Amino acid sequence: MAALSSHPDKVSESERAAADVKFKSISKAYEILFDDDKRDAYDSHGMAAFEAGNPMSAEVDLDDLLSQMFGMGMNGAAGGGPGPRKPRKGDNEEQSYTVTLEELYKGKTTKFATRKNIVCKTCRGSGGKDKAKPKECSACHGRGMQQGLKSMGGGLMTQETVICNPCKGTGKVYRDKERCKKCKGERVVEEKKVLELYIPRGSKEGDKIKIEGEADQLPDQEPGDIVFNLVEAEHKTFQRAGPDLMAKVNIDLSEALCGFSRILVKHLDGRGIYVKHPRHGRGSLKTGSIIKVAGEGMPHKKSDLRGDLYLLIDVDFPDQDWLRKDQHVEKLQALLPKPGNPIQAETVDEVDYTEDVNLDNFGGEGGQGEQWEDEDDEDSSQPQCAQQ
């Protein structure tokens, strides 16, 4: 409504020039208010952050303008007064952190040493000696911001507003002899600190573990957070899908046919998972059979619930020469189920075959297919008659 009432077309001719300036300023206020990056720049540097690219910004005070529009300033203070600004929060520091499936199952607490910048206690973040007075930065003329060029690729460049490097965005610098001896005018010093990282049990890949307020400090800013992005290391036994686990289990042929009672797998916390699979009532197992153990999957975070464990059966057959005597073969055939009805065909060919092969060449051009040639290919080398 403020922008609409100040539109140049809504006022008389004599007021149009002033209304035009105010309308553009209100539009700029909306743009800064609803753009997070520009809002942060304003909170840190005021309208100086936009003066280089916006000559009208000096004509209208943005806080006064917003006070008229909403009864508040950019800092959120009620009424027309500017009030103290809340320090903006610094950038977070993100990094990957690899964890094992065992650590995700049981949870983990670890301590680590890190080096971070903290505000210099000697100069309290000013960068200068006590009672020293800084001068205006000649690089940015006290604005704390500069116009720079950014490559857009393809030889194209665009102009952008960046923090002035000589004054670190303050708009002021100290002479060499007036700089703080501790931080050398940098306003921050490096400190070694031991931090503790806690990973709750049941965490998963992609979870973010945050240590609040432990990123690098800057004067007049609330420090950001250190954020660890969890990366799950591959496990040799288990695969995870959400709260569930799956493991491949090998059993021999006698166990598949006659049943078993034994530990099938060692869990992530070291427990042996003991399974009884009797011969009677359950039937035989085959490769691809699945045994589900309820409640033995991954724990849910902040809960006593757990997922399930799926055991994928793979039956190991004995070597080919394990039956050497014919009478043993006959006894085994008598015990095993008889084959189904044979396939009937009018013409029957007995063929030779090869064992111990794989599918690496399946679909390739090997085999007898190499002996066949298209007649057109044979004739392609012969000279062709020219068309008349």
pLDDT, residue 364, reads 76
pLDDT, residue 358, reads 85
AA letter at 361? N
Question: CA-to-CA distance for 120 and 183, rounded, in angstroms?
Answer: 6
By CB neighbour count within 10 A (0-12 exposed, 13-18 middle, 19+ buried), where does 329 fall? exposed
Q: Report residue 360 CA to chain centroid gap.
A: 37
Q: How many CB atoms lie within 10 A of CB 42?
A: 23
Please give the full DSSP string across 21-71, using - where no structure is assigned: HHHHHHHHHHHHHT-HHHHHHHHHHTTHHHHTT-GGGGTS-HHHHHHHHHS
- Which residues have C-beta within 8 Å of that of residue 127, sequence separation ≥ 6? 120, 134, 168, 170, 174, 179, 180, 183, 185, 186, 187
Q: Report the candidate in 266, 84, 321, 48 with the shortest Cα–Cα distance to residue 161.
A: 48
Q: How many CB atoms lie within 10 A of CB 43?
A: 19
Dihedral angle over CA of 37, 43, 47, 51, nearest 10: -40
Q: Which two tokens stand for residue 125?
A: 């973040």
pTM above 0.75, yes or no: no
CA distances from 229 to 90, 98, 107, 226, 299 (A): 19, 8, 15, 10, 20
Using only C-alpha atoms, what is the Rg of the chain? 38
CA distances from 266 to 203, 263, 300 (A): 21, 8, 20
pLDDT, residue 372, reads 53
Q: How many CB atoms lie within 10 A of CB 224?
A: 19
CA 325, 331, 336: angle at the middle one, nearest 5?
125
Classify strands 135-136 and 172-173 as parallel, antiparallel or unpaired: antiparallel
Give the pLDDT of the chain (388 residues) as one tens digit per residue: 444 445 455 555 666 666 666 666 667 666 666 666 666 666 655 655 665 444 444 444 555 555 554 444 444 444 444 445 567 888 899 999 999 999 999 999 999 999 999 999 999 998 999 888 999 988 888 888 888 777 777 778 788 888 888 888 888 899 989 999 999 989 999 999 999 999 999 999 999 999 999 999 988 889 999 999 999 999 999 999 999 999 999 999 989 988 999 999 999 999 999 999 987 667 789 999 999 999 999 999 988 999 999 999 999 988 877 777 777 788 888 888 888 888 999 999 999 988 888 888 888 765 654 555 555 555 555 555 555 4
pLDDT, residue 1, reads 43
- Which residues have C-beta within 8 Å of that of residue 218, sequence separation ≥ 6? 90, 117, 119, 187, 188
Mapping DSSP to helix (H, G, I), strand (E, B) and coil, where does residue 247 land? strand
Residue 148, beta-bridge partner list: 160
pLDDT, residue 3, reads 45
**Residue showing tokens 């931090």:** 195
Question: CA-to-CA distance for 229 and 97, rounded, in angstroms?
Answer: 6
